[in-house]
Structure 1
Amino acid sequence: MPQKQQRDSFLVRNPWASYLLRRSGYFVVSLFVLVTISFLLVQLIPGDPARMSAGENATFEVVEARRAELGLDRPLIVQYFSFWGGLLTGNMGDSISSRMPVIDVILKRAPATLEIAFMAVAISLVLAISLGLAFGALTKNGRRRGVEAGFTGVSAVVAVIPEFLAGILLVYVFAVSLGWVPVAGRGDWTSYILPVAALSIGPTASLSRIVRAETLNVLQQDYVRTARARRMPSFRLYRKHVLPNLLTSTLTISGLLLGGMIAGTVLVENIFAWPGLGGVIVQSIQGKDFPLVQGIIVFYGATVLLINLIVDIALILLDPRTALDKS
C-alpha cells in the first residue's frame, strides 16, 4: 500500500490523531501569521530607534553606528528572516533601552503576568459556574421572573465594564477609601486581590450568563426528566447530569477568557504598578524598543494560541465525540 494511502487509512481509523494533527497545523500557521504581523506592526511605530538608543544629542556618525549595531541598516526582508532565526534559536536580540537580552526580560516579568491571569480565570470559572447553576435552577421553567430579570440586567451591566475602569473603581473603594488592601505593587497575598478582581469581574458576569443558559437547556433534556421521574436527589442530579454537560461549552469559553485576560493584564498592570509585562510593553513602545516590543507581542500571542490548543486537547479528552465531530 502506498505511503499516502497508509497515512490516510491511519487517520480514518484514528480520529483523535487526525484531529490533533490538523489542530497542530492550525497552531503552526497561526504562529507564523502572528510573528509576521507583529514584525510588520512594530515597523510602523513612528520614530528612529537608533536615535532613541544613541541619545538625542548624538552625532550622525554615532547614530549610524548604533543603527548598524542593531541591524536596522539591513533590508527589511533580511531583518524579517533574522527575526525568525532568533526566535527559532531562542535569541530575540537585546533590548535597546536596557541592553538586556529580550528573552531574559520576558522570563523575569512573565510569571507575574501569568499569575494574575490564571488566578483570575480560575476564580471566574468557579464563580461563574456556581452562579450560573444557581440562577439556572432558580429560574427553570419560567419561574421567578423577577430573579431572572435582576440577574440578566446586573450581569449585562457588569460584563461590559472595562478592566481599567473596574481597576480604578476597586482602587478608590477598597484601597483609598477603606484602606483594606494595598493600592499597588506585588507583595503578600492581599496585593493580588484588586488586580485579580479587576480582571475577573467582567468575564465572571459574561460566563455566568452562558452557564445559566446552558443549565436551562440541559434541564429540558429527556435524560434529566427521566432522572427526575426516578426521584433522583437534586444535588446528585446536578452533579451527575447537569454539571458534566456544562463543562464542554464552559471550557471552550474559558480558553477565550484566559486569552482575553492575558491581553487585559496590560492595562491592569499599569493601574496597579504590577511588575509584569504590561508596564514593560508600554515603556518599550514609548522608547521605540523594537526588539522588546516584538518579543513581548510574540510571547502574548503564542501564549494565547497555546492555551487554545491545550483547551481543544482537553475537550477531546473530556468528550471524545469532539474529535469525531471535527474529523
Structure 2
Amino acid sequence: MLLPRLARFAAALAALTVATFAMIHLIPGDPVRAALGPAAPVELVAARTAALGLDQPLPMQFVTYVRGVLTGDLGTSFLTGEPVGQIVLERLPNTLALAVLATLVALLVAVPLGLWVAIRTENGRRRGTELGFTAGTGAAVAVPEFFYSIALVVVFAITLGWFPPAGKEGALSFVLPVIALAIGPAALIARLVRVETARELGKDYVRLARAKRLPAAMINIRHVLPNALTATLTTGGLLLGGLIAGSVLVEYVFAWPGLGMRMTEAITQKDFPVAQGVILVYGAIVLVVNLAVDLVLGVLDPRSTIKEG
C-alpha cells in the first residue's frame, strides 16, 4: 500500500531532521566560538550567535530550524555567511554525477559478468571458475572505496599520468573517482546476478525452451535475464542512494567539488551549519531513493503490497 510507505518515509524524515538539529547542540562548548577561533573578539562571537538565532531558547530554535527546512532554508555558514542551501545547490550536481555514473558502470559490468558466470557454472560445472568469481568479488566488496581511490591515483594519475589526480577538469577527471565508487557495487551486483540467474536456469520454462531447441542466446537474453534482473535493479537503486551518501571519502581523495568534499571541509573548519545541512540533504536523498525503489518493487512484485495490506 502507498500510505504505509509514505508514513514510514515521513517518520524517517522527521527523525533525520531532529538528529541533524541535535548535532550542533550536542557538541560541547560554543560552536560559534569553535568556528571563529579562540582569538575572535567576544563582541563578534556574540553578534554572530545572535544573528544565527543561537541565543534563543532551544524549542524556539528547533521551530525556526524546522520552518527553515520546510521552506528550503538550511541555515547560514558560521564562517562565510553563505546560505547552506546555495552551497548544496552548487555542489549537489557534482556528487549526483559521480553516483549516477558509478551506478551505471557497476550495472554495465556486473550484469553481463554475473550472467556469464552463472551460465558457465550451471549444474556444478567449472568449479574453479565459481570459486575464483566468489573469492574475487568477495574481496572487491570488502576493500573500501578509500583504498581504491588512493591506489588508482598512485597508479593511473601519478605513475602513468593518464588521468588528472584531482579536481574536475573535463571528462577524464570523472574516470578514476567513478571507477573507485563502482568497483564494490559492481562486485556485489555481479554476485546477486549470478545467484538469481542460477535460480532461473533451474526453472521449468528454461527446460521447456531448451527442449524446443531454442538458441541458447535467445533463452538467456530474452527469458532468463529479464526475470533475474528484478532483484538486481532493486539493489541497484538502493546502491545509488548508498553511493550518493558514501562518496564522501572518494571526493576527499580526488578533491572533487561535491557535497562530500564540502562537508569534510565544514567539519574540519567547525562550520557546523554547513555540515548539518549537507548531512540532512544526504539523508533525505537516501530516503527518497529508498522510497522510489520500494514503490517500484511494489509494482513489479504485487505480493509485497499484499503482505503490507
Deviations 1:136-175 (A, max 9, x none): 0000100001111111111111111100000001111111
Q: Cα–Cα, structure 1 residues 126 and 275, in superposed 2: closer, same or farther, change >3 Å? A: same
Q: What is the TM-score when the length of structure 1 is the normalising length?
A: 0.90
Q: Which of 178, 187, 194 pairs up with 2:160?
A: 178
Letter in 2 for 1:182: P
Q: What is the TM-score when the length of structure 2 is the normalising length?
A: 0.95
SS of alignment partner, residue 247 of structure 2:
helix
Deviations 1:52-79 (A, max 9, x none): 4555323333322221111111222222
Q: Which of 131, 141, 145 pairs up with 2:123?
A: 141
Q: Cα–Cα, structure 1 residues 49 and 42, in superposed 2: closer, same or farther, change >3 Å? A: closer
Q: Unaligned stretches of 5+ in structure 2?
A: none
1:45 and 1:288 mapped to 2: Cα distance?
Answer: 10
Residue 80 of structure 1 deviates from its aligned partner by 1.6
RMSD: 1.6
Moved more, 37-46 or 261-270: 37-46
SS of alignment partner, residue 197 of structure 1:
helix
Residue 222 of structure 1 deviates from its aligned partner by 1.4
Residue 322 of structure 1 deviates from its aligned partner by 4.1
**Counterpart mapping for 1:207-246 below 5 A:** 207-246=189-228
2:55 is the counterpart of 1:73: yes
Structure-2 residue corresponding to 1:114: 96
2:240 is the counterpart of 1:262: no
Structure-1 residue corresponding to 2:274: 292
Q: Which of 259, 265, 278 pairs up with 1:283?
A: 265
Q: Which of 124, 128, 134 pairs up with 2:106?
A: 124
Deviations 1:24-74 (A, max 9, x none): 111111111111112223333345232245553233333222211111112
Moved more, 241-250 or 302-311: 241-250
Letter in 1 for 2:273: P
2:174 is the counterpart of 1:192: yes
Moved more, 170-179 or 63-72: 63-72
Structure-2 residue corresponding to 1:162: 144
1:64 and 1:292 mapped to 2: Cα distance?
Answer: 20
- Do the aligned residues in 2 keep the contact of 1:116 with 1:195 (CA within 8 Å)? yes
2:141 and 2:36 mapped to 1: Cα distance?
Answer: 46
- Do the aligned residues in 1 keep the contact of 2:24 with 2:31 (CA within 8 Å)? no
SS of alignment partner, residue 246 of structure 2:
helix
1:240 and 1:100 mapped to 2: Cα distance?
Answer: 53
